[in-house]
Chain A
Amino acid sequence: MLTSVSREVRVTQVNLNFRKSLSGIEKVGDLGQCFQCSACLPDCPAATFSPRFNPRDIVMRVLLGLEESLVCPDSLVWDCTTCYACAERCPQGVKPVEVITAIKNRIAEAGLLPQQVAGAVTNIKETDRVIVHSDTVDRRRKELALPELVSGERLIQRILRGEGNG
């Protein structure tokens, strides 16, 4: 008589719509044209210094629908320096760097932005500036006789919320 052996299976979730769900897809180029040649790899600074990172592999994971491995906390896509070398080198018109930006957009929608990124974005939205506008900024500008710099007029919030363009 056969004894049944219980085996634990960990299924990797595949999302066949992952590729289509990426924003800005028209800029990503035709992902389906990727023939996994690795021409995007040699000039990639992130791959040179981060063993887990490979632009060819990221494109493959998108094509296979392996969403969970990319849209997750501390995703490896944040290793990318957005240097565009991959897109310049690809012989097939694929733009791994734009695929990565699209994945980052999905990470943001899922509420999984790294704290540092979320903080920077919030500051820009609240003050219209990428860094905090302190008194030191104004003092140094005055020392150099530079014109006054205005921040915090909610210009960005207004345009995002549809409250006007001023």
Chain B
Amino acid sequence: MGKYALFLGCLIPMKNPQIEKAARRVFEALKLDVVDVQGFSCCPEPWNFKGASLEEWLLVAGRNLFLARKNGRDIIALCNGCSATLIEANHLLAEGGIEAKRVLELLKKRDVHLDGKVRAAHAVEVLYRDLGVDKVAKSCSAPLKGLKVAVHYGCHLLRPSEIMNVDDPFSPTMLDQLVEATGAESLPYRDKMACCGSASMNKDVSLGMARKKLMDMEEVGAQALVVTCPACFDQFDLGQIEVNRKFKESHSLPVLHYFQLLALAQGSNSEEVGLSRHKIKAKELNKVISR
């Protein structure tokens, strides 16, 4: 097993620390070697910051990668945005294309030397690839039998697939397998790989996507929606209130980060994983996990 530096990013530790709490409980339960490293900045996020300047985005990501390397650790992230940025930047800098060459020169001048040996990964990928689904299943002392879950992978966990290289970008099974390891059932549903819409600046696109996904999940009787990213989380939790207001509807599908679900299956109670902080209350879910 690898040695990891926990890359928290911004949205989880600042807006949704209950997800961080759950993840730390899980790492402990699974005896993963994960430590905190001081000095990480924003990854930086792959929407606005990358949109403003690819070069600056690579520079800042390069610094974060270097910091993990200096500590002799690989990066483990809890957010699709963080893992996408760090995996893609790592790939581009190692490949050394025109753009990357210029950035590598700038990094050298700042005493940042990347030797291509650091790895960055989403924690879900670490569980799936490094630890294995069986070990995750064995850790679940309080399986969530009877819970029907709709998983939302989040685009950046898998795409661009030639760089993420973790599962099929249109019909993956990684997260479904990990959810089923908790004892819950992962439901098939329409347009499962559609985006949550969060990153669009156009509210018609953003809320339209969120609403469509909620309806597709409700159609098959989902009792909970499981994500792996705080941006998707906000889009479906807080976003559900916005969708309800805008379309005069009453969606009430509770949203969980995968590590909250897993912590519950490992015996944490709903308060310990912070479900009461969520906008959409987990009524149905509480029935399944009440013990």
Q: Residues on A close to B: CB < 8 A?
A: 23-27, 43, 45-46, 48-50, 53, 78-85, 87-88, 95, 101-102, 104-105, 107-108, 113-114, 116-118, 120-121, 124, 128-131, 133, 137, 140-141, 144, 146-147, 149-150, 153, 155-156, 159-160, 162-166
Q: Contact: B14 with A121, CB < 8 Å?
A: no
Interface size in chain B (residues, C-beta < 8 A): 66
Q: Contact: A117 with B52, CB < 8 Å?
A: yes
Q: Contact: A124 with B49, CB < 8 Å?
A: yes
Q: Contact: B51 with A130, CB < 8 Å?
A: no
Q: Contact: B44 with A105, CB < 8 Å?
A: no
Q: Contact: A79 with B36, CB < 8 Å?
A: no
Q: Contact: A130 with B54, CB < 8 Å?
A: no
- Tell which of B14, B106, B194, B200 touches A133, judged by Cβ atoms closer than 8 Å: B14
Contacts of B49 in A (CB 8 A): 120-121, 124
Contacts of B196 in A (CB 8 A): 81
Contacts of A49 in B (CB 8 A): 197, 202, 204-205, 208-209
Q: Contact: B169 with A88, CB < 8 Å?
A: yes
**Supplied contacts A49-B209, A101-B51, 5 more A-B pairs, CB within 8 Å:** A53-B205, A87-B160, A101-B54, A113-B51, A129-B14
Contacts of A95 in B (CB 8 A): 160
Residue of B nearest to A95 (CB): B160
22 contacts between A and B (CB under 8 A): A23-B99, A46-B202, A48-B208, A49-B197, A81-B199, A85-B193, A85-B195, A88-B160, A107-B51, A114-B201, A116-B201, A117-B48, A121-B48, A124-B48, A130-B11, A130-B44, A130-B45, A144-B17, A156-B42, A156-B60, A159-B63, A165-B63
Shortest beta-carbon distance, A150 to chain B, in Å? 7
Shortest beta-carbon distance, A59 to chain B, in Å? 17
Q: Contact: A144 with B51, CB < 8 Å?
A: no
- Tell which of A79, A84, A113 touches B159, judged by Cβ atoms closer than 8 Å: A84
